[in-house]
Structure 1
Amino acid sequence: MIRIISIALLGLVLLAGCSSTKMAYRYADWGIVWWVDDYIPMTAEQESRLEQDIRGLRQWHCATELPRYSEWLAQLKSDVRSGNLSQSTVTHHQEQLLSFFPPLMERARPAATRLLSSLSDEQVQQLASNMEESQKELEDEFLADNPEQTREARAERTMERVERWLGSLNERQRDTVNAWSEGRGKQTEIWLEGRRNWQQALIDALATRDSDDFSDRVHYLMSNYEEVRGERYQRMMSESRAAMAGLMTDLLQQADQRHLDHLLEQAATMQGDFDTLACTSEGTESLNG
């Protein structure tokens, strides 16, 4: 269920992960309906209500949040052009990105509460069963490898993500990513453990979905998801954020001019997409161009 919230509402993650920002924004609502249908077959009334909520949330998001993203990208481009690529600068941009999430979570709470409180007992049972099945599949996939294979897979995933923004890495940068991946320890195991903890907390909350404080429980799950996932997860995330800032600082300082040019081009493209995703008072987005 965290993916329901993430895919539908955490717009920056959605947009940054799609080859076309405007295409991702156009189909965000249908993507969420597809995902919920995949895990929990919904009634026509539930689908209609969810679509209305997502349209309203997306309208708010593009009117209120996209301008903030555009301003952040402008500052990022300015820092890259000026060569201001110290770890403190990278950490500042990381903190700026993280600051985009709380408003989205808070705005999402009513829609999430309505959807979750409308679930029947049968749907809750299906959700629990499907989440357990998905969890087992992930554990089989990610924990079956030996530590060396896990490290190599992590390094490959990291390189793919970084190369979207910097282009093909040079040999020194690739060595840096490989060394960084070796130091991530049991990150995958802890992530899966935290995922299971959060899902169990959701199922426990759903048992009280008819109570007056259910909205508060949903709010807690959404706003304190790291705490819900456990102490090991909280420590891992704190360490991972610092480690990622260090990695990005190293990669930028090891970058050739072509890497910086690629980063500027990617930032400019995304900023242009944000700027052209203008919202109208009727609740639709201008997606032409």
Structure 2
Amino acid sequence: MYNYLDWIIPYYMDDYLSLTDEQEEFFDHATIQFLNWHRTNELSRYENFIVGLKESQAVPMSQQQVLQFFDNAEALWTSLLRESMPYLLGLSTQLSEKQLKEINGALREDIKELETKYGKQSDIQRREFLREKMYDVVDDWLGSVTDQQAAIIRLWSETRKNTTNGWLNYRNDWRKEFIALLNRRHSANFKDDMSNFLLNPQKIYKHTYRLAVSENRRHLAQVIADLSTTFIPQQRRHLQHELDKIIRDLKELRNQ
């Protein structure tokens, strides 16, 4: 899929915005520049990240190690977003009022679909959904789930903070702030304000949601660390094999 991102990215853009011919030319050029930068600079960083993750699997991990990998992954995402910022800002300043309404309507529709899918779930249903999803993830990476690991996952799903409502409220708050900033796209401070907003979305978290997200993050890191103490040799070999496949893919993509 990576080699088709120059087609995929504009395809998804169409869900939110109809571009004029001039804007489409700007966007296509920006996409190619961005993808060239990404292949040249970022794939090697991803490879190093996965290599470090693979090396850490030789022995059980600590919660602090897992949290560090979380931080490193977030740094890679921030790097991607920061590089794309000039292109995003450049396109933003070209938007018409009609296009702004189009974006807002598409974002509203996204939130409506999420509320339909997740907002009406009971707490029990949500925990069951997350538990089954975690079973599937662990099974994919380890090749199987032992009874001991299933018990760890079950306890995690039963004790984590339910953040569904906070997350849905945040999505709507994000939409409102994003549209409000776009309405000021011709102001002197627009580029700085929009950059800060997109690079630091947690700034608009409600206090209770922020605390719950932080607690769940630490909790998940501890669960991953706990799971790593239970890996049997067959599972550890399976995990190493899966990570090796990603490393090979990244090497191939980087050299193409």
Give the TM-score category using the shorter length. over 0.9
Partner of 2:68: 92
Aligned residue among 170, 176, 181 for 1:205: 181
Question: Does the residue aligned with 1:100 lie in a helix, a strand or coil?
Answer: helix
Partner of 1:177: 153
Deviation per CA, 1:229-271: give whole Å up to 9, x if none: 3333322332222112111111111222222112111111111
Counterpart CA distance in 2 for 1:160 and 1:98 is 23
Counterpart CA distance in 1 for 2:132 and 2:219 is 17
Aligned residue among 123, 142, 149 for 1:166: 142
Partner of 1:237: 213
Deviation at 1:201, TM superposition (A): 0.5
Does the 8 A contact of 1:62 with 1:277 survive in 2? yes
- 1:54 is the counterpart of 2:31: yes
Does the 8 A contact of 1:159 with 1:174 survive in 2? yes
Counterpart CA distance in 2 for 1:178 and 1:44 is 53
Counterpart CA distance in 2 for 1:236 and 1:161 is 23
Higher deviation after alignment, 201-210 or 30-39: 30-39
Partner of 1:264: 240
User: Bigger relative contact order, structure 1 or 2, given CA contacts below 8 A and separation 6+?
Assistant: 2
Does the 8 A contact of 1:197 with 1:230 survive in 2? no
Counterpart CA distance in 1 for 2:55 and 2:121 is 42
Counterpart CA distance in 2 for 1:116 and 1:37 is 15
- Write the mapping of 1:1-289 to structure 2, written as runs, cut at 5 A: 24-81=1-58, 83-278=59-254, 286=256
Amino acid at match of 2:171: R
Amino acid at match of 1:211: S
TM-score for both structures, normalised by structure 1: 0.82
Q: Mind listing any 5+ residue stretches in structure 1 that lack a counterpart?
A: 1-23, 280-285
Amino acid at match of 2:159: G
Counterpart CA distance in 1 for 2:4 and 2:208 is 36
Deviation at 1:84, TM superposition (A): 4.5
Deviation per CA, 1:192-214: give whole Å up to 9, x if none: 11111111100100111112222
Deviation per CA, 1:76-122: give whole Å up to 9, x if none: 222213x1523233233222222212222211110111222222111
Counterpart CA distance in 2 for 1:177 and 1:258 is 20
Question: Does the residue aligned with 2:15 lie in a helix, a strand or coil?
Answer: helix
Counterpart CA distance in 1 for 2:50 and 2:247 is 6
Question: Does the residue aligned with 1:227 lie in a helix, a strand or coil?
Answer: helix
Does the 8 A contact of 2:17 with 2:103 survive in 1? yes
Deviation at 1:151, TM superposition (A): 0.9
TM-score for both structures, normalised by structure 2: 0.92
Amino acid at match of 2:242: Q
Deviation at 1:44, TM superposition (A): 2.6
Structure 1 residues 115 and 229, CA, compared in 2 at 3 Å: closer, same or farther? Answer: farther
Amino acid at match of 1:241: R
Counterpart CA distance in 2 for 1:95 and 1:208 is 32
The list of structure 1 runs, each at least 4 consecutive aligned residues, that deviate by more than 3 angstroms after superposition, is none
Q: Mind listing any 5+ residue stretches in structure 2 that lack a counterpart?
A: none
Amino acid at match of 1:80: Q
Counterpart CA distance in 2 for 1:259 and 1:245 is 19
Q: Aligned pairs, how many?
A: 256
* Overall identity of the aligned pairs, in %: 28
Does the 8 A contact of 1:226 with 1:233 survive in 2? no
